[in-house]
Structures are given as C-alpha cells and as structure tokens.
Amino acid sequence: MKTNFLKSILVSFSLIALASCSSDDDGEMDNVNPGQVTLEFDSSFAGNELILGAANAANTNGEALTVTRLNYIVSNIVLVDEDGMEYAYPKENSYFIISEDSNDALADNTKIILEGVPAGEYQAVKFGIGVDKEKYDQGLSGAGDFWDAASAYDMTWSWASGYKYVNFEGGYTTSASGPVGISGEDFKVHLGRASDEVTNYTETTINVPAGSAIIVNEDMAPEVHIITDASALLTAREAVSLEAYGNAIMGGEGAVIVAANVPLVFKVDHVHNNEAGNSSH
C-alpha cells in the first residue's frame, strides 16, 4: 500500500536528464567525441579596453562614465552549427556570473568552460542575460550554490528578493558638472525582474566572424573571445541618460530600455581553435 513516492519522483527526474542528451532525430545532436569550449568575456568601452576606475570619453548623452563594476549573469547557453542545429548546454548547469569588479575581494570571473560539447563546427553562440521565468519559478530547488555565489557578487536583491541580471556601477560627469573624472555623481544600473509581465530577461545570438568556426572534438579545446561593450548598455538601441533617471536605473521604463540594449552589447571578436592541452590568449 505504501508507494515509494519520493524515490519514483527522483527516478523520473534522472530519466528526464538522461533523455535530454540522447535524442538525434529531432534536430538535436548525437554526443560523439565531445570536447570542451571556453567562452571568454572581455569588457570594452566603445571600442577601447574597459579600465575599471578610469574615465571614458563622453557618450551620446554627454555623460562620461568611470566604471567600477560590470557584473552580469550569462545563462542558457546554446551553440549553433552551420546547419542551424542547436546544442543546448544542460540547463541545470547553465547559469554563470561574469564579473569585473573594483572590489578586490571579488575575484574576476571572465571565463565559462563548457564540458562535453558534441563534436561539430559551430557558427554562433546563443545565451540569455539574467534568469528566465522557468528558472525563477523553480525557486531555490536545484539552485545549489548559485544563489550564494550570486549573493557574494552582489547579484541578488535583498529588498525585492530575486537575481540582479546586470549590476553596472561607477561614477559619471556631464560637461555641465565639470571635468571628466571619478568625481561627479555615482550611478547604479541594476537590471532584474520587475514582475511576471516585465521580466527584463533577454537572449542574444552572436555569430563568429566569417571564415572562423568553433571547431569542437575530443582533440580540440577552442576558446571563443566575446567582447562586451559596457558603453552600449546605455546606448546600443536607445540612449538612456543616467541623469534623467536620477543616477539610478533599477526598474521601470529605464530598466526596460536597458534590457532592450543588452542583447546588442556582445560580439564574438575571434575564435582560437586550440588543441586540447594548449591554450592561447
């Protein structure tokens, strides 16, 4: 009369997990000769290297930013090959924090290493920025250490519980407020879920430069160098002025505009098709 309720749930979970890496007739791939792929995120500012704590030239809003923190969550990574076939990295392991932070206590996090990627020649990388509704609705189950890690990198809210998808901070000056430098006003751009209707979660697909594929097999360990243009967060699609939003964009219309800019700030700069065991930069 007693059924083994809990165990049967756990068993069915693991069956689902197994099933998701063995289908081949529905557009997914066989996982033969899998290899490792590294995504390296390198921040820039309008074409220049992003140097934390150093002033940048004014943007189209006439605001000159000095960035002290650029942290964001990269999730739901998918690799797309030349035929448009997609390999989705297992969702439960597909949440990462990328961080460049002036706070020395926080180690920079700029690399994502994907293991067990099926052999193939991939032309594009697709990923989310933030935490999708499906994951949010799972609450803490399956979160493992991700919540704690996010909290350590100031990627969680405390007053409105949930994840920050992007935490972009620093100072800025305008021509009216005086010389460019770290002085001026502090700014904070924190992007996250506003409500079930306005989730601010976005996805982007970035192609590799023409002629260079990401070549994956058991002998190769390619590295994909992705450039994240911090400046474009405030300008890519629609310019958003920090001053107009009182130096803080944490929700409302401002966050919606930033969220629409987010998918446009990334591009693949180049790919190193390294042999496994070697790495180059």
Which residues in this chain contact another protein in the complex, by CB under 8 A?
Answer: 2-7, 9-10, 136-145, 147-148, 151-152, 156, 158-162, 193-196, 198, 250-255
Q: Are 215 and 154 in contact (CB under 8 A)?
A: no
Which residue, 134 or 275, is less far from another protein as judged by CB? 134
Task: Name the residue among 224, 221, 222 with its Cα closest to residue 276.
Answer: 221
CB nearer to another protein: give 24 or 197.
Answer: 197
E strand or H helix at 255: helix 252-261
Least distance (Å) from another protein to the CB of residue 139?
3
Closest CB to another protein among 219 and 253? 253
Give least dist CB 61 to another protein, A.
19
Match 């496994």 to its residue by tokens.
276
Length of the chain: 281
Residue 72: how many CA atoms within 13 Å on its side-chain side?
26
- Minimal distance, residue 201 CB to another protein, in Å: 13
Contacts of 180 (CB under 8 A, 6+ apart): 55, 57, 58, 64, 173
Between strands 95-101 and 35-45, the pairing is unpaired
Of residues 34 and 254, the one with the C-beta less far from another protein:
254
The widest CA-to-CA distance across the chain, in whole angstroms, is 78
Token representation of residue 134: 């499906």
CB neighbour list of residue 233: distance below 8 Å, 6 or more residues apart: 166, 168, 189, 258, 261, 262, 265
Minimal distance in Å, beta carbon 228 to another protein?
24
Nearest to 191 by CA among 171, 170, 172, 163: 163
Residue 214 or residue 255: which is nearer to another protein going by CB?
A: 255
Q: Tell me the backbone φ, ψ of residue 141, rounded to 5 degrees.
A: -70, 125
> For residues 141 and 278, which CB has a smaller minimum distance to another protein in the complex?
141
Q: How far is the CB of 90 from another protein (least distance, A)?
A: 17
- Cβ nearer to another protein, comparing 3 with 280: 3
